[in-house]
Structure 1
Amino acid sequence: MSKTAKAALWIMIATMLSKVLGLFRELVIGNFYGTGKLSDVFLYTLNIPGIIVAVVGSAIATTYIPLYFELKEKKGEEEALKFTNNIINICAIITVIIAILGLVFTEEFVKIFAGGFSGDKFDLAVDFTKIMISGVLFLGVSKILSSYLQVNDNFVIPGLIGIPYNIIIIIAVVISTKTNIRVLAIGALIAMASQLFFQIPSAMKKSFKYKPYLNVKDETVKQLTILVMPMLIGVGIGQLNTFVDKALATTLSDGKLSALYYAGKLNEFVMALFVTSIVTVIYPKLAKMSNTKNNSGFVSTIVTSSNSITLVVMPIAIGAIVLADPIVRIIFQRGAFDAQSVNMTAMALRFFSIGLLASGIRDVLYRVFYSISDTKTPMINGSIALLINIVLNFALIGSLDYIGLALSTSISSVVTVILLFGSLKKKVGYFGGDKIVKTVLKTFGSSMVMGAVAFFVFKNISAIMGIGKLGDIVSTSVAVLLGALVYTVLIMILKVEELDLIFDMIKKTKNKLLKR
């Protein structure tokens, strides 16, 4: 098994641990607060620092990776480390300014991010935001430190930062039910800080030494600024897509924003586990191959990563559409998360799942462009997708209510991928697009058969088992297992190459564990 495959596997395991704990966090929140007013406010304001950092910190951290490789190759590790400290300090200054503005203009921030909140909801959102906004500093610097670890072949620790984060929020949720609801916001702030401090020891083991070095006139910083501006707009557009959806959801009746949130979290779990794990590993490799003009390896990496994601995500998306109701019941239904919450969340999950594969391939294609220092193309294509999403949001929310917001998000993801494929062909010529499309068609056909089998099995077993948690677990588990078996057999018959890679990863991991 290749070094890249091993790294992807270990980050997948690390991400699984973090995300399983993240799902447990959602269970705890859902159990105590359901899909009501308080959960709407907390879940939404919890994302405000993340949205801001996703725009600023992610753009800087992503551009940092290819520039780090270039600087290290030309001037050595010492200069690359100096550049890293410079970027950390610049990012810290930017986020401190944002935090101060957030504290001074909190009401304006909330009006921008949650324009539909009013009365008690609005006041509580302002209160929570005042407490949590300082988290942008920790999240911003944490992004840069994660990138530093990744370029130095440590992918596991960045994948595990969700563990302390989720544990702290879970503790805060439980304590808040016994004390004061402000404990939710305080716990969230501490959780954000934990992501940074969790990574520092590992960074130091990779020879990282912090120095208060700041030079905005540095040539590499100037180069980063040129590259980061289109990316900043591009990442901002992606977050604006999310913002528009949630802002419109705040205008709907209580609980619908939370339903979209919980459904989105289930899809995010799949994305983080399979897509982010692969993308995180291949991006530094793509940047290195682009820098060393390794064209054959570059194309091979694009095809393998896209097809591997397709092979895994396509059946999951179809399965989520077919088995949305029992999945949501098993995971979330308890305490204040009642049957109505299940129905709303399951419907949102179905429509989000339509665009799940497109979101995964889109993330791969974005990294392909970033690795060749092209940040404008993703920005332009993302802008077009944003306009489509906004138009569809307003067109569909009237007839489909909150479901229209989920559907428009999926459609815009599909459009973005189509545009990116066209742009990539113009930019680099042949990139293995025919092989990617071929695999998509094979996995789609196999997944549809799998979905039909899973639906039939679930219906028949649930009729025997009856209504209840145990019946759902047994019926869904058998349906998933038999569906997965049918899918695997079909994929083997159709000879999808990446299946061998996945089998190899599983076999090598099993052998390694047995030796221990």
Structure 2
Amino acid sequence: MKKAVLVLMLITIISKMSGFLRDVTLSYFYGASMISDAYLISITIPTVIFGIIAAGISTGYIPMYSRIEEQFGEKRGQLFTNNLITVLFVLCTLTIAGALVFTEPIVNVFASGFSGGNLNIAVLLTRITIIGIYFTLVIRILSAYLNYKKLFNVPALIGLPMNAVLILSIIFSYQLDLVIIMGIGYVTALFVQLLLLLYFSFKKGYRYKPAFDLKDTDLKNMLVLAVPVILGSSVTQINKLVDRTLASRIDVGGISALNYAHTVNIAVLGIFVASISTVMYPLISKMAAKGNMDGLKQNVSQSIVGVSLLILPATAGSLFLAEPIISFLYGRGAFEEDAVAMTSDAYFYYSIGLIGFGLRTLLSRTFYSLQDTKTPMINAAIAMVLNIILNFLLARWIGIGGLALATSLSMIFCTLLLFINLRRKIGSFENRYIFLSVIKIAGASAFTGWIAYMAYHQLIAVTGLTLALLLSGVMAAVLYAVLVYFMRINAADDIIKGIKQRLSRR
């Protein structure tokens, strides 16, 4: 089990790296420009229109398929799957038809600041990318099917060929001066993902045969399971919609700057938080099922400190060295000084909320383990309202950075609400230990972040950007590790003990 989780984590990291390379390619050839803004809006629209529903469907599919196969056998399970796909195909056809007729008004909703060339390019690309909805729905269902069949690696790997196709489409579109290639590349990338999933699903015994029954009881029951997830996902997408439509009004390239900055933070969260939440979730789920609240509280407390141990120093580094980091990652090709400044601004303010993003994932999964999906959904809705209000207030004062700051503040507020609600639900769980540990970690992080900042500015005078950033980062990491070691934080001590045990075995 542990080996499977580690392999899956490694694949996830590689997949996220390929996604980051895709954004670096886009920034290199198109920078933060009218074209990059239009392209990003064109691939956001299909996600919001149908991606929300697809997320809910795929989440509800596994428990429903499991029950059907256990009670009636695999043949009945495949019939349910085929009926689900066919019904969603019909729904997609109606959705796509409407989107093709009303493409321009839809783009105006997502990017109200677009006009002229921006609007025309976004409309053109959206009319192509919207076709990808057909593939997205089958991808979500077959990914869930393969996960149920314990073939976890394939759904995790499909991001690699998709990003490879997207990177090639961006390069060819620039070289041939045909923006339309990026839209075609997006749909092609989804089709490649679908082919891979179909191949491995076929090997696991799946066969598609047309079936259409809207009165199917299993279909209705699955929709009941999917509704909370759909509502929760819609909150995130509404936030994204408001962010991007306001960014389109503030400045050309604003949408791209938000996207590039957000990509870096998501990569950090994916690497640092996924490792803890992946291991923690099944463990506390078993404890919750057995009624072992003391063990659950202890593991949640350790996990909160563990996430803080990794996220807070990353936050400090991002805040002190936002501009050098963005310059190192994106500062080449068409990504000029104005784009670096705008993206650095967004990255700085997004980084403030990193701890909120990380702990929200952890706390939400704790509620899920307690079979409570309502509380995270309500908290997310409250955070969404706060985010929208802050967007309008802060965007006037800070511009693009204000949108990122609004997201960070609403995420921190949402996390605090989740923490308070969890305490009410399961009682006090080592609050003093958590508080003291986080204070120690925050102090060590702030100090090492400042050291990294000072070292960078000393080194940049005698070395290039890359070497100065690398050396200052390594220096700060070593110093942070030493400080944490002498602070005697339990979560860090457990990690050190684990490393020592592995070394002694070898």
Provide TM-score, normalisation by structure 1: 0.87
Counterparts of residues 311-390 of structure 1 (less than 5 Å): 311-390=309-388
| Structural mapping, 1:82-481, within 5 Å | 84-179=81-176, 180-206=178-204, 208-213=206-211, 215-276=213-274, 279=277, 299=297, 302-303=300-301, 305-429=303-427, 436-437=434-435, 439-465=437-463, 471-481=464-474
Report if aligned partners of 2:33, 2:256 keep a CA contact under 8 Å in 1: yes
The aligned residue for residue 19 of structure 1 is: 16
Kept in 1, the 8 Å contact 2:345–2:400? The answer is no
Task: Tell me by how many angstroms 1:315 deviates.
Answer: 1.6
* CA shift digits 1:193-246 (9 cap, x unpaired): 223333334444555554545555455543432333233222111111111111
Q: How does 1:17-56 map to 2 (within 5 A)?
A: 17-56=14-53
Judge conservation of contact 1:15–1:159 (CA < 8 Å) in 2.
Answer: yes
Query: Secondary structure of the residue that 1:334 maps to in structure 2?
Result: coil
Query: Distance in 2 between the 1:298 and 1:82 partners?
Result: 39
Identify if the C-alpha distance between structure 1 residues 187 and 258 changes in structure 2 by more than 3 Å, giving closer, same or farther: same
Q: How far apart, CA to CA, are the structure 2 residues paired with 1:164 and 1:73?
A: 34
Farther off after superposition, 193-202 or 112-121: 193-202
1:44, distance to aligned residue in structure 2 (A)? 2.1
Which residue number corresponds to residue 468 of structure 1?
Answer: none
What fraction of aligned residue pairs are identical, expressed as a percent? 36
Cα deviation, 1:297-352, whole Å, max 9, x if unaligned, reads: 65565445544433222221221111111111111111111122111111111100
Would the alpha carbon gap of residues 7 and 356 (structure 1) be closer, same or farther in structure 2, given more than 3 Å must change? farther
* Partner Cα separation in structure 2 for residue 209 and residue 501 of structure 1: 48
User: Structure 2: any 5+ residue segments left out of the alignment?
Assistant: none
1:485 aligns with 2:482: no
SS in 1 for 2:462: helix
Measure, in 1, the Cα distance between the counterparts of 2:325 and 2:240.
Answer: 24
Post-superposition Cα deviations, 1:15-48, rounded to whole Å, max 9, x if no partner, equal 2222222222222211211111111111222222
Q: Go from structure 1 to structure 2 and tell me whether the alpha carbon gap of 1:263 and 1:456 turns closer, same or farther (over 3 Å shift).
A: same
Distance 1:400 1:234, change over 3 A: same
Q: Quick one: distance in 2 between partners of 1:39 and 1:370?
A: 37
RMSD: 3.2
Amino acid at match of 1:330: F
Are the counterparts in 2 of residues 99 and 134 from structure 1 also a CA contact under 8 Å? Answer: yes
**Alignment check: 8 A CA contact 1:462 1:472 kept:** yes
In structure 2, the CA distance between the partners of 1:165 and 1:31, relative to structure 1 (3 Å rule), is same
Offset of residue 71 of structure 1: 6.0
Equivalent residue letter for 1:479? S
Deviates most, 414-423 or 197-206 = 197-206
Q: Given residue 106 of structure 2, which amino acid in structure 1 is its aligned partner?
A: F
Partners of 1:401 and 1:341 in 2: CA distance: 14
- SS at structure 1 position matched to 2:113: coil
Matched to 1:402, the amino acid is I
- Kept in 2, the 8 Å contact 1:54–1:239? The answer is no
Instruction: Identify the range of structure 1 (87-96 vs 268-277) with the bigger mean alpha-carbon deviation.
Output: 87-96
- C-alpha spacing 1:205/1:135, structure 2 compared with 1 (3 Å): same
| Count of matched residue pairs | 505
**Which range moves more in the overlay, 75-84 or 374-383?**
75-84
In structure 2, what is the Cα distance between the partners aligned to 1:445 and 1:166? 39
| Deviation per residue, 1:55-88 (Å, 9 max, x gap) | 1111222334455566667777666666555544
How far is 1:101 from its partner?
2.3
Deviates more, 1:181-190 or 1:20-29: 20-29
Separation in 2 of the partners of 1:67 and 1:291? Answer: 20
Structure-2-length-normalised TM-score: 0.89
1:495 to 2:492 alignment: no
Query: Structure 1 residues 377 and 91, CA, compared in 2 at 3 Å: closer, same or farther?
Result: farther
| Partners of 2:485 and 2:493 within 8 A in 1 | no
Query: Structure 1 502/387 Cα, relative in aligned 2: closer, same or farther at 3 Å?
Result: same
**Whole-Å separation in 1 of the counterparts to 2:482 and 2:186:** 45
Amino acid at match of 1:196: L
- The letter of the residue matching 2:442 is F
- Listed as ranges, the gaps of 5+ residues in structure 1 are 466-470
Give the letter for the 1:358 counterpart. Answer: G
- Report the CA distance between 1:410 and its aligned residue: 0.2
Q: Is the 8 A contact 1:286 1:371 kept in 2?
A: yes
Please say if residues 68 and 80 of structure 1, whose CA atoms lie closer than 8 Å, have aligned partners that are also in contact: yes
After superposing the two structures, state which structure 1 stretch, 288-297 or 311-320, moved more. 288-297
